[in-house]
Amino acid sequence: MIYRPRTYYLLVLSLILHISFSSASDDGYRDRMSSGSRAFRDDNLSQAFREFKAAHEMAPDSLAPLQSLGQVEFKREKWGEAKEWFEKVLKIDKADIAAHYYLGICHREIAKYKALLLRRLEFRKAQRYLKFVMENSPSYGLVFYEYGVLEKYREHFTEAVDFAERQLAYKPGADQALIGLHRLYDSMLYHKNGDNLRTWLAGRNTPRARLYIGESYRRSDDFVRADSVFMHLMLLPDSVIISKTPLRMALARLRYQQGGIDEGENFFRQALDSAKTLFDVDFLFEEMKYIFTDVELEGYLSLKTAGEKRELLSKMWQIRNPLFATEENPRMLEHIRRVLQAEKYYRYDGVRSKMNSPDKLQYLTYPKVFYLNDKYNDKGLVYIRHGEPDDRAFMNSQGAPENESWLYYRGQSTPKLMFHFFIDEAAGPTNWRLSPTIPDYMAESRLDFDPIFYRMLIADRLEGNSLQLELADRSRRDVEVGLNSDRHSWTDRIIPIGFPFYISTFHGENGATRYELYFGLSHLDIWPKMENYAPDKKVTAYFSAVDESWNTVYHDQLDVSAEKIKFDTDMFGLWVDQFQFDARPGLHFINIVIRVADENKVGGYKYHTTIGSYGRELLQMSKLELAREILATDETNKFVKNGLRVIPQPVRTFSKKDPVYVYFEVYNLPVVNGNRLDFNVTYKIKQLRKEKTSILAKITGIFGGGMSETSNTIERFADQRTSVEYLALDLNKQSQGDYRLEVLTFVPETGQADSSSIKFFLK
């Protein structure tokens, strides 16, 4: 079943079938009903329907199978079929409360897709059934809230809020009704915001009404009054206001709009960190659901406690944070910015039907999370996930429907995506919907997007049909991927810093692997023209490693002055440092970030890696570490390994006149009782690409020989199972270019061997 948690469904009580067997004593009937109940609880609705249908055929006059069949179809959102089953219930028992309740909701949902006169007729039927429940069993289900949703569909927005508020008088602990009530307040503001609405809200004199007075001011860009309302509410004791989570989220948006970017993030974090109840976390879910993946949604729905849900939401932000090694989360800020844009430009909470969709043949398929949407058009959904498109195109000509296409370039970890939006003739003015294709005559306006549009422009009719299918297939893929993923984008105010790094791993303590990351900085990478350079300016490097469950394995940061970076760059070509930690083998996520104090300059890398194991008994080599210097020392610091000071060369570029130092370790040498063991170390240096330095070299290179390759073997011996090794390679006679160094360790006595390799550049 496609998960479609619309307003009414989220708020319907859990359907636990209490089955009475008094009307039928046949064992087969009992078995069918019990089997159907189990299938229903397991969400196997097809099986449940078959079992209940069989039970109904055994006992046509029994209420239980009819009620159960109606609930199955209701859960499958087959409103017409559910309506028919509940109507059969009423033929047997005209006062059945559950049948009236579900019939009211069914008629309400059927009405959305009807023409105006028929819609009113269905709404009146829904009203009649729901009022019967309110008058005869007002505490049943969430009947007042469901009636409030009916009033929203009728565009009676204040009445919708009134009925939903009455629901809380009957069930003050109904968190789902409270979530739905906030949705109705939000919809009311969208449709009726202004002085009259604020007067109406002021007459209610409740903290919740005052919250939405503040929201009304915020959405009208009256930030001073909004701030006054919100801060007054923040001073209220917790015993007066049900939850401050909606208030903190409102303040997060307001502070962002006021330019207090960091304060906006702080209020968002407060909302997340202080969430203690199911209402708190479910309200945050409403804020975040537009970036969920199907896997995350499944995980969230499986959780029962507020603590578990809060932890999942927190990890979602960690996973998306490009700077998770720092205390900042620019992805969270970018989410606030995108939601504000969507709120202003992409709002739509009307009917989304097949009739007003440009995809008449329903070619596009959507992930489950797509159906969580209840307030944006399709442009808004894409925008919240992926931000401002890299390119837009539209065709504005007489007779052409409103259209626009968005292009997102391929990123380091994100695919190229294209989305095509149309407003169908039967749709409202803001109901932008995704389409699998565009008409051939619009191809010219999208020529810069992709070669397929040029092919469409020049194609004959037969080839054009084939290209339409090709474009539809690509659109289906892009929609499936794009609406089940998201990407971060930086604002223009961020100035990126590039810097080199690479990693090596070694045998660690107690079965762990030692992971070392080497990085370097040049002052010219940060201040290319020495603008804003000051010797005492601070640069901070942050590093964090987390495991696959996003538990922190290691975190560290270090500060360095601009003066030190410049001095080392002038002396050695680069200031270098490293982070290192021991970790259990397995998947890890790594983040290194460079930040300049008091400047909008940031550099960083975020990636995942599988840290290998050095736990096997056979001969094994560490990774290779390229260094600009290796010297014996008595010092103890991060650069010292086994009595050697190894200064890494993160850029992996060496001058031909200087030696290339290589450090590595060999493990599990088959040494017995400390006896001497001979082994060989062979290094091979292969040129991968020549760097042409002159016109003559470029010409002769066409006819010259192949890439050079050098190999040499060194005889070594050991009396311990681990051997520390390093090489100083003289490559003065090699030509400039890219190389790969491979080091092979071989034990002639046993035939065991292992190797490791690394690339570098020689200049």
**Each residue of 305-347: pLDDT tens digit?**
999 999 999 999 999 999 999 999 999 999 999 999 999 999 9
Amino acid at 388: E
Residues 6+ apart with CB under 8 A from 305: 278
pLDDT for position 186 = 97
Residue 616's pLDDT is what? Answer: 86
Strand partners for 653:
761
Q: For the segment 33-55, what is each residue's pLDDT rounded down to a tens digit?
A: 999 999 999 999 999 999 999 99
Per-residue model confidence as pLDDT tens digits over 105-125: 999 999 998 988 999 999 999
Structure confidence by residue, pLDDT tens digits, 660-694: 999 999 999 999 888 889 999 999 999 998 765 55
pLDDT of residue 426: 83
Give the largest Cα separation in the chain, rounded.
100
Phi, psi dihedrals of residue 171, rounded to the nearest 5°? -140, 75
Report pLDDT for 692.
59
Percent of residues, the chain, with pLDDT higher than 90: 85
- pLDDT of 413 reads 86
- For 139-193, the pLDDT digits (tens) are 999 999 999 999 999 999 999 999 999 999 999 989 999 999 999 999 999 999 9
φ, ψ dihedrals at 24, nearest 5°: -155, 130
The proportion of the chain whose per-residue pLDDT surpasses 70, expressed as a percent, equals 94
Stated pTM of the model: 0.88
Quote the CA–CA distance of 608 and 604 in Å, as a whole number: 14
pLDDT, residue 661, reads 97
Under the banding of pLDDT at 50, 70 and 90, the label for residue 15 is: very low
Residue 480 pLDDT level (bands cut at 50, 70, 90): very high
Q: Is the pLDDT of residue 12 over 90?
A: no
Give the model confidence (pLDDT) of 374-390 as tens digits: 999 999 999 999 999 99
Q: What pLDDT sits at residue 145?
A: 98
Of 302, 342, 11, 26, nearest to 176 by C-alpha is 11
What is the average pLDDT value for the chain, to the nearest integer?
A: 92
- Distance separating alpha carbons of residues 671 and 731, to the nearest angstrom: 33
- Identify the pLDDT of residue 583: 96
More confident residue, 707 or 449: 449
Tell me whether strands 677-690 and 709-718 are parallel, antiparallel or unpaired.
Answer: antiparallel
CA distance 320 to 324: 8
Between the alpha carbon of residue 233 and those of residues 184, 269, 402, 533, the distances in Å are 20, 18, 44, 45
Q: Per residue in 703-737, pLDDT tens? A: 444 567 889 999 999 999 999 999 999 999 899 99
Count of residues for the chain?
A: 763
Model pLDDT for residues 530-576, shown as the tens digit of each residue: 988 999 999 999 999 999 999 999 999 999 999 999 999 999 999 99
- At residue 13 the predicted structure's pLDDT band, cuts being 50, 70 and 90, is very low
Q: Give dist(CA 122, CA 107) in Å, integer.
A: 5
Rounded (5°) CA angle 313-316-321: 130
More confident residue, 491 or 392: 392
* pLDDT at res. 707: 66
First to last CA, the chain: 62
Buried b (16+ CB within 10 A) or exposed e, 248-271: bbbbbbbbbbeeebeebbebbbbb
List the one residue out of 234, 226, 284 whose CA is nearest residue 255. 226
Which pLDDT does position 693 carry in this prediction? 56
Average pLDDT for 620-636: 96
The residue assigned the tokens 């990774």 is 623
Q: What pLDDT sits at residue 18?
A: 44
The dihedrals phi and psi of 415, each to the nearest 5 degrees, come to -80, 165
Q: Hey, which residues does 556 pair with through a beta bridge?
A: 543
